Amino acid sequence: MRGRRWFFVIAAIGVSVSALAAPVPEDFAEGMPLVSMQPGSAYQLRLPEPVYALSTRSDLGDIRVFNGDGQVVQHGFCTPPEQRRTHTKTYPVAIHGLPPGRPGEGPGMRLAIDTADGLRVRRWQPSESEADAPVSGAFEYILDTREVDGPITRLHLDWRWRSPEGREELPIRVDASDDLKQWRTVVSRSTLLRVGGDALENATVSLPERDYRFLRLIPEDERAREWLQGVAALTTRTEVEAAPLTWAAAEPRAGDGDPTAGYLFERTRPAMARQWRLRLPGPNRVLQVRLDSRAEQSAAWRSRFQGAVASGRDAVVTDAHPIGATDDRFWRLEIVSGTEALAGAPVGLDLGYRPRRLGFLAQGEGPFLLAYGSGRVPPAQTLDCAALGEHPLAASAALEERRVLGGEAALRPPPQSTPVRRLVLWGVLILGAALVAAMAIALLAKLRD
């Protein structure tokens, strides 16, 4: 009895494993070889365009990579990294020197240098009665940075000073103010240094990135005089440049060409759309339009854009408009005004997609095969791109060697009359329940004995 039970268990496991076996290349419509110039542990390439045309899933889950032995290789989809460009611009800054001391510390001190907006720079000067007194020179400096366009990140100082001990080193503090009345410290200590003439020099002070109106440079060494000759403020602007989008035309649907009913389109590319643009019958045309989209035919329309669009002077496409990231399938375009400029010609809708990259691990021996387009296989379990390492090697797809694998038959889902997978799973469950029941009955019999 016990041997018969084990026989049934092993048979059920064997049937389930055969039904849930990994896919083979013949389960996909087409395939193309993947080649690389050098061996490595991971590879990455731009996903070829034919994959989008034959993929049956919006998540591209009907894609597999096979090695030379026909075994599935783990893969993932990566987004091209954004390119960051940093632009630095330099602005000359007006400086105003202040002798040592503060208001009230010496006789005859008064304010000077009025600014155009009514503010006053606090520059202390001796009165006429003390004009013959020796001038000690500027100790602190106030910088007028109101003409700087953008947040300041650094100050470059043209400074010259040597201590009586012969050291060209000067620690300074930087304060900021908006009205020349209230000051706050933004840099508690920064050291200017020069060694060996100009062989080794630090003349830059880094600031917290923000907009400043006035800055004050205060040396820590009370003996410093006339140490600053000029200042330049530096602004840094970082631009993020995403990878160029791939544009694909949405498929026109029934009812096109009737401006009163609107133009209807269907998104057929299995990817997230991020921008849209129109293709007009000719250049230099202006239309007032309204664009809506929805995920399913039974869903309500969602407004995407309403306003004017125009084709360029030498182009038939309009400017691109962002839409975030959406996988809405159905689109509707209504021409609010400007229909006469179309002269009965249709209007096209292009959707922009962020190009995706395919990465895969070099598991087993090559040559590797990219197979795509299937209505049979379950969605792939993809990797996170971090699993490929920091620098996967570049690979390419041999488009000229595309070949048919399972053909159009692979694009069709299996017949619903024979749900083999479901039957096997239910059979395993029923068999397991029967075995548990049989064991319980046998245990009860032993207890009765």
Q: What is the SS3 string spanning 262-322? A: CEEEECCCCCCEEEEEEECCCCCCEEEEEEEEECCCCCCCEEEEEEEEEECCCCCEECCEE
pLDDT at 434 over 90: no
Q: Are 203 and 158 in contact (CB under 8 A)?
A: yes
The mean pLDDT of 273-285, rounded to a whole number, is: 93
| Burial class of residue 180 (count of CB atoms within 10 Å of its CB; 0-12, 13-18, 19+) | middle
Q: What's the CA gap between 111 and 301, in Å, rounded?
A: 67
Pairing of strands 169-177, 214-219: antiparallel
Q: What's the CA gap between 329 and 96, in Å, rounded?
A: 64
| Burial class of residue 227 (count of CB atoms within 10 Å of its CB; 0-12, 13-18, 19+) | buried
pLDDT at 342 over 70: yes
Range of weakest confidence among 194-208, 222-236, 350-364, 392-406:
194-208
The mean pLDDT of 362-386, rounded to a whole number, is: 92
* Confidence at residue 417, expressed as pLDDT on a 0 to 100 scale: 54
Question: What CATH number has the domain spanning 87-240?
Answer: 2.60.120
Q: What's the CA gap between 372 and 204, in Å, rounded?
A: 57
Give the residues across from 145 on adjacent strands. none
| Burial class of residue 92 (count of CB atoms within 10 Å of its CB; 0-12, 13-18, 19+) | exposed
In this prediction, what percent of the chain has a pLDDT beyond 70? 83
87-240 and 246-353 agree in CATH topology: yes
pLDDT at 14 over 50: no
pLDDT at 7 over 70: no
Give the residues across from 144 on adjacent strands. 94, 214
**Better-scored residue on pLDDT, 125 or 146:** 146
Q: Are 77 and 59 in contact (CB under 8 A)?
A: no
* Confidence at residue 305, expressed as pLDDT on a 0 to 100 scale: 95
| Burial class of residue 168 (count of CB atoms within 10 Å of its CB; 0-12, 13-18, 19+) | middle
* Confidence at residue 244, expressed as pLDDT on a 0 to 100 scale: 83
262: left (phi over 0), alpha (psi -120 to 50) or beta: left
Q: What's the CA gap between 278 and 338, in Å, rounded?
A: 14
Q: Would you tell me how many other CB atoms lie within 10 Å of the CB of residue 277?
A: 19
DSSP helix/strand/coil, 231 = strand
Q: What's the CA gap between 272 and 425, in Å, rounded?
A: 34
Range of weakest confidence among 76-80, 156-160, 230-234, 271-275:
76-80
Closest C-alpha to 249, from 353, 166, 338, 138: 353
Confidence of residue 379 (pLDDT cuts 50, 70, 90): very high
Q: Where are the domains of the chain?
A: 2-81+356-429, 87-240, 246-353
Confidence of residue 240 (pLDDT cuts 50, 70, 90): low
Radius of gyration (C-alpha) of the chain in whole angstroms: 37
**Quick one: CATH architecture of 246-353?**
Sandwich (2.60)
Q: What's the CA gap between 319 and 311, in Å, rounded?
A: 7
Q: What's the CA gap between 129 and 207, in Å, rounded?
A: 41
Q: Are 228 and 98 in contact (CB under 8 A)?
A: no
Pairing of strands 393-397, 42-46: parallel
Q: Are 86 and 236 in contact (CB under 8 A)?
A: yes
**Quick check: bond before 25 cis, omega within 30?**
no
Torsion, CA 338, CA 343, CA 346, CA 352, rounded to 10: -50
Q: What's the CA gap between 244 and 263, in Å, rounded?
A: 27
Q: What DSSP element (H or E) covers 66? A: strand 63-66
* Confidence at residue 8, expressed as pLDDT on a 0 to 100 scale: 45
Measured over the CA atoms of residue 275, residue 281, residue 287 and residue 292, the dihedral's sign is negative
**Better-scored residue on pLDDT, 261 or 380:** 380
Q: What's the CA gap between 226 and 160, in Å, rounded?
A: 8
Range of weakest confidence among 125-129, 201-205, 240-244, 417-421:
125-129
**Better-scored residue on pLDDT, 340 or 360:** 360
Q: What's the CA gap between 362 and 381, in Å, rounded?
A: 16
* Confidence at residue 136, expressed as pLDDT on a 0 to 100 scale: 64
Chain segment 388-425, per-residue pLDDT in tens: 988 899 999 999 999 999 999 999 887 765 566 677 77
Give the residues across from 240 on adjacent strands. 84
